[in-house]
């Protein structure tokens, strides 16, 4: 199911992200790639809707890498009650985020942009996650683990954060941070298109 060598045909693939989770997930698609995090301002203009923010940032990341190689960039946002939750700035912020998610359903949207030579494609993938009602003790125990602090929304569904989740719908890996099934198809289509031109 990985991309066949003839599709990549020796092309250099660059993941424009420092996330260890995305690095692990991209290895499901291709065996060989380089990690080159994009150094950009990740603030989103006011005229960009919350549900379009992740795709907007992924496009900025992809075009910040000065290369003709295959560039894959991604960003993930958590949205609750129309508000984007980023990564917790400190413990108090993490507590506030998890309290806000408690007992509610929120959206997790990953935006992806792929660039190769003069071609590019971008998309957003949405999943829904519902949390159990959380006690202050549960939130503090989770914060004590240290897991929430480098993750959008202050939790990781692939780790201890899974214990907070009542149910989810949509692509699980999208919630983790990289919608690998759709990415694989989009990447294959873009490379084929680029070779025809």
For the question of residue 75 being annotated catalytic, the response is yes
Nearest one of 151, 104, 145, 123 to 51, comparing CA atoms: 123
Distance, CA of 161 to chain centre: 16
Task: Please state, as a whole number, how many other Cβ atoms lie within 10 Å of the Cβ of residue 104.
Answer: 12
Q: How far apart are CA 10 and CA 102, in angstroms?
A: 47
Distance, CA of 79 to chain centre: 13
Catalytic pick from 31, 41, 69, 75? 75
Q: How far apart are CA 157 and CA 169, in angstroms?
A: 13
Q: How far is CA 69 from CA 42, 56, 130, 153, in A?
A: 23, 21, 39, 32
Which burial class, exposed, middle or buried, applies to 35 when counting CB atoms under 10 A from its CB (0-12, 13-18, 19+)? middle
Strand partners, 110: 76, 125
Catalytically active residues, by annotation: 75
């Amino acid at each position: 199911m990985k991309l066949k060598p003839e599709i990549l045909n020796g092309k250099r693939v660059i993941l424009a992200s420092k996330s260890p989770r995305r690095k692990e997930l991209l290895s499901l698609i291709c065996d060989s790639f380089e990690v080159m995090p994009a150094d950009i301002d990740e603030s989103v203009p006011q005229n960009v809707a919350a549900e379009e923010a992740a795709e907007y940032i992924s496009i900025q990341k992809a075009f910040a890498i000065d290369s003709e190689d295959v560039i894959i960039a991604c960003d993930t946002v958590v949205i609750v009650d129309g508000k984007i939750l980023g990564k917790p700035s400190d413990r108090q912020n993490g507590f506030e985020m998890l309290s806000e998610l408690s007992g509610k359903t929120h959206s997790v949207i990953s935006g992806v942009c792929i660039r190769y030579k003069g071609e590019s494609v971008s998309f957003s993938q949405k999943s829904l996650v519902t949390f159990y009602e959380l006690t202050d003790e549960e939130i503090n125990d989770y914060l004590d683990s240290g897991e929430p602090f480098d993750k959008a929304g202050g939790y990781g569904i692939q780790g201890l954060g899974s214990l907070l989740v009542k149910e989810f719908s949509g692509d699980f890996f999208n919630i983790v941070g990289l919608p690998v099934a759709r990415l694989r198809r989009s990447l294959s289509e873009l490379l084929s298109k680029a070779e025809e031109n």
